[in-house]
Structure 1
């Protein structure tokens, strides 16, 4: 029996032609070339092959049921009309979008398509990448020939915002620190800007982590040395004073503005935090500034970022090719390694070693280049779990940690986006940073407006359109304004172990209060665009894109019966699933981030943040981890000096 190939499947060929007719600038799909690329990519993915084969069979039979013949036997105009109508149906529309997604991705990720939309520019990769002595402190599982047994003072599981900051603080005090990272170490030569290359390297499960409930909310997270800091937009905000006050009211008295100030300052020095420049923000900053000013908003300014010397290539979410963005793979991790820490990449923590409830070490496993399993056994005085809010609670529960709050209290900062079309203006979407401008008048009310421009692929793939409408929408990318907002949510979700290893089950229900705030953000942004001269405002949803031309239409839309699934919602800041608290009745860890009832075990990552912030969390996570690691170091060293503040050395 011959293997299934899309290039020889008549339904795949017909679908490809119907999905990608010629537009004003975009050519009709080269069907043979596109399907050949897909066949090559699917060569070793039998599961996806079977899914596509089943989807194509469904399409043929769905058309036969309605029109009396198979889809591939209909005329091209009939096929296009059928897809247009099918896309608007509640169930079949979703199935069609799932079936069309890999075809759309193969089409839009082609260099010729990117050039035709004015988005293709060569990524400025270095001719050669510098090598540093600290890189000798990195051991990759793929390079190992035998199992290893080591001793350390502290073992840290994860190299993102919390784990990296803790490693630096502990190494600065002269302690023996080992960092375990499941992902690989990449330098800037790997950050090519080609999504098919960088997404599987830097994102966990291709970015396919999703929260489900009364909305479907993608929550992409990183899996690499640097964690999610490698793929975030670089925005840096301190914990709002009102949030710190709330923590103190909950019994965390130590979190005063005065006490946290030196830790915030230390983080900001390490990351070279400064305001984004007008040049890198791009035209969207001017549009939003004019629209927000016309509506009486006063707190309008470029955002604070960790990217000194940024050249505006707009690739923050796919690894910075110039190392301007000070993600932890560029900042904290190298500084920790310079001070004697060791990093083991490609190793997954499998088991905590223990004596009773006391944690005494970690067993981690990886795979070398020959495919042979490699075991890394570590004994230590302290273990810090810093796997992030989605995976830290799963790991702790797997290790037998029992606490009713573990995996609960998940907050996400649900984020909304509103687009607008400016047909006569090039918005330089692929030549500007994705998030560089903000409006903060409603911050205390839980609503923060921030830029959120996505690359061409995101623009083209995160919409429900098909056929000619999809081609036209893709061609409009250079003229489509993107801006968004996030809410300080009062809703809470939960993380459980999912059916597949590596993908958690995330449940999140947006409550009425948060949804009302979300709709308020939609209304404000739409008004800004209209007053800035937009031809039309686009409000994207899972099943449709609502087009608004004036305030009357906007008010009518927002008065209609709406639910969260009517909007495109995303989230990038999962927090709180192993939160610190005054007692085990209220959380998983104490104010020093030590897990209640399990000596030698701490959590220092987004999971330990006690509430939603309403601010991008990386500075908060780094400051909290630095503070907790400093107290851990003093305990290990029997240092009674309580006046120690963040290191003031060469890199502070």
Structure 2
């Protein structure tokens, strides 16, 4: 059942066994598992419920409807980095690319060996991975729906003798329309609003959309419920409130907002790590102009990857954006922008993300509110240099006549000499124009949350904030596994 706060013309007060704040990769999993386990479950979602049939083929409109801050959430630091996040029932899974990786074995071994998190082992997590993958239908991507931009890289890497692989994706009947990041219009992508949440509702869970969490209800040090306000779609409060009494609160508001909700309510504030140790997987893309028409926006944009440089903390993945989005986001103006867009149908692109050694923190600044502070360290600048040089060489070998980077001072590369100039030249953090899609770690297990993901009496965390450190791969399966782990522990501890 879904209650739309935008159209609830009165205050509500209800009782549940558990309330989940957030409906993304962690929160939706917890809600389904607890509801199927016999608990009365409420889900609070600040965004609206957007049915598959409502998804548009106009990217700018989709960004305005589905993205927090209309896609303009940005870090403060060198460089400033946009961090797109979903604001809808299903959370960021509604706007992600559908890419699915398990937590890498080396990462789990590091957590156990170096962080002392002996319960976070591959043996203990594999059953969670398997259950999540079955539920969201993780399958190998198909070459027949890949964009030409992906297959150009596949052909070039294969000629080198180092082919990549089709990405695993959570899909059923993908048509390759290319709108994964703007709400899948066919319903093929098994985001949480399509997979886990409908089953949660069948088991009796109740979601409140357009509903903004305000504060915890407490008795002594124990959290016993929440208060929230109803809002009009992406707009002001309706003036009505929701009060929920529940002995269990599962915080799944995301890596940026969960630590602030704890801090604002005096939970775990004694822990100096609260809001710290933020990692982002900074990323960017490289464009290349070919004589052939590529039309890279046709087909699945993120369908192929290479982990050839994974030991250097670099993962290459397909990426492409529609022309209207490209025109808004490439750092070109005037005649240069006009020439770039004129040639856009001849452009291919490929991207990468890095496992960042840099860390940031989430703070609350006067008159500003929740703010993400993050600065690139030298090691991560060098990862960007290495990855961009690698992609430039691959594209030129594939027959591109020009490569475009998003690095100031090195925006066009047409030869090996240009690439060597990039490799040997000065590169500062502020020269980098990138994005980051995977914030993690601000309530990390073993640092803020306990090993069992509890952050206080009556509060458990089940989102990316509880992931201890950078993964180096897309995290939605990892976050869902942490959600499944949290639900299992809650069900085991029921009286």
Task: Output the TM-score relative to the length of structure 1.
Answer: 0.73
Matched ranges for 1:42-441 at <5 A: 137-249=1-113, 250-298=115-163, 300-367=164-231, 372-401=238-267, 402=269, 403-422=271-290, 424-441=291-308
Tell whether 2:439 aligns with 1:610. Answer: no
**Is the contact between residue 385 and residue 422 of structure 2 (CA under 8 Å) also seen in structure 1?**
no
Cα offset, 1:413, TM superposition: 0.5
Determine the C-alpha separation between the residues in 2 that align with 1:559 and 1:295. 24
SS at match of 1:384: strand
Structure 1 residue 473 corresponds to structure 2 residue 340: yes
Q: What residue ranges of structure 2 are gaps of 5+ in the alignment?
A: none
Q: Partners in 2 of 1:366 and 1:204 — Cα distance? A: 17
Mapped to 2, the partners of 1:284 and 1:528 lie a distance apart of: 12
Give CA deviations for 1:397-451 in whole Å, capped at 9, x if unaligned. 11112021111000001112111100x2222322111211001122243111101
Greater strand fraction, Structure 1 or Structure 2:
2
Unaligned runs of 5+ in 1: 1-136, 582-586, 639-652
1:417/1:568 contact within 8 Å kept: no
Report the CA distance shift for 1:184/1:500 in structure 2 as closer, same or farther (over 3 A).
farther
**Once the 2 structures are TM-superposed, how far is the Cα of residue 513 of structure 1 from its aligned partner?**
1.5
Distance 2:80 2:458 in 1: 38
Is the CA contact (8 Å cut-off) linking 1:539 and 1:567 kept in structure 2? no
User: What is aligned with 2:313?
Assistant: 446
Relative to structure 2, which stretch is displaced further, 350-359 or 435-444? 435-444
Report what 2:361 is aligned to.
494
d(CA) in 2 for partners of 1:540 and 1:218?
Answer: 14
- 1:529 aligned onto 2:395: yes
Residues 428/340 of structure 1: CA separation in 2 closer, same or farther (3 Å cut): same
**Per-residue deviation, residues 68-120 of structure 1 (Å, max 9, x unmatched):** xxxxxxxxxxxxxxxxxxxxxxxxxxxxxxxxxxxxxxxxxxxxxxxxxxxxx
Q: Residues of 2 paired with 1:522 and 1:472: CA distance? A: 22
Give 1:500 deviation, angstroms: 5.8
> Cα offset for 1:145?
2.2
User: Relative contact order (alpha carbons < 8 A, sep ≥ 6): 1 or 2 greater?
Assistant: 2
Distance 2:170 2:343 in 1: 31
Q: Is the 8 A contact 2:406 2:434 kept in 1?
A: no
Residues 33-84 of structure 1: CA distance to partner in whole angstroms, max 9, x if unpaired? Answer: xxxxxxxxxxxxxxxxxxxxxxxxxxxxxxxxxxxxxxxxxxxxxxxxxxxx
**Number of residue pairs matched by the alignment:** 490
Comparing 368-377 and 333-342, the one that deviates more: 368-377
Q: Confirm whether residue 592 of structure 1 aligns to residue 433 of structure 2.
A: no
Q: Distance in 1 between matches of 2:332 and 2:390?
A: 25
Taking the aligned partners of 2:228 and 2:73, their CA distance within structure 1 comes to: 23
Residues 455 and 380 of structure 1: is their aligned pair in 2 closer, same or farther, counting only changes over 3 Å?
Answer: same
SS in 1 for 2:75: strand
Deviation at 1:368, TM superposition (A): 6.1
Query: Do the aligned partners of residues 400 and 526 (structure 1) sit closer, same or farther apart at CA in structure 2, a change above 3 Å counting?
Result: same
Aligned-pair distance for 1:499? 5.3
Contact 1:142 1:368 in 2 (8 A): yes
Asked whether the equivalents of residues 13 and 243 of structure 2 are also in contact (C-alpha less than 8 Å), the reply is yes
Q: CA deviation at 1:205?
A: 0.7
Residues 451-470 of structure 1: pairs in structure 2 closer than 5 A = 451-470=318-337
Q: Secondary structure at the match of 2:266?
A: coil
- SS state at 1:216 partner: coil
Q: CA deviation at 1:631?
A: 0.7
Other structure's SS at 2:218 match: strand
**Is the contact between residue 281 and residue 439 of structure 2 (CA under 8 Å) also seen in structure 1?**
yes
* SS of the residue 2:76 aligns to: strand
Deviation at 1:149? 0.9
Say which SS state the counterpart of residue 493 (structure 2) adopts. helix
Secondary structure, counterpart of 1:211 in structure 2: coil
User: Larger deviation: 452-461 or 175-184?
Assistant: 452-461
Q: Does the Cα contact within 8 Å between 1:291 and 1:532 map onto a contact in 2?
A: yes
Asked whether the 8 Å contact 2:441–2:465 carries over to 1, the reply is: yes
CA distance in 2, matches of 1:553, 1:198: 38
Contact 1:368 1:374 in 2 (8 A): no
Q: In the alignment, is the contact (CA less than 8 A) between 1:576 and 1:612 conserved in 2?
A: yes
Counterpart CA distance in 1 for 2:101 and 2:238 is 44
In 2, Cα distance between equivalents of 1:464 and 1:247: 39
* Deviation larger for 429-438 or 619-628: 429-438
Output the aligned Cα RMSD: 1.6
Q: What's the CA shift for 1:463?
A: 2.4
Give the TM-score normalised by the residue count of structure 2: 0.96
Question: Separation in 2 of the partners of 1:500 and 1:328?
Answer: 34
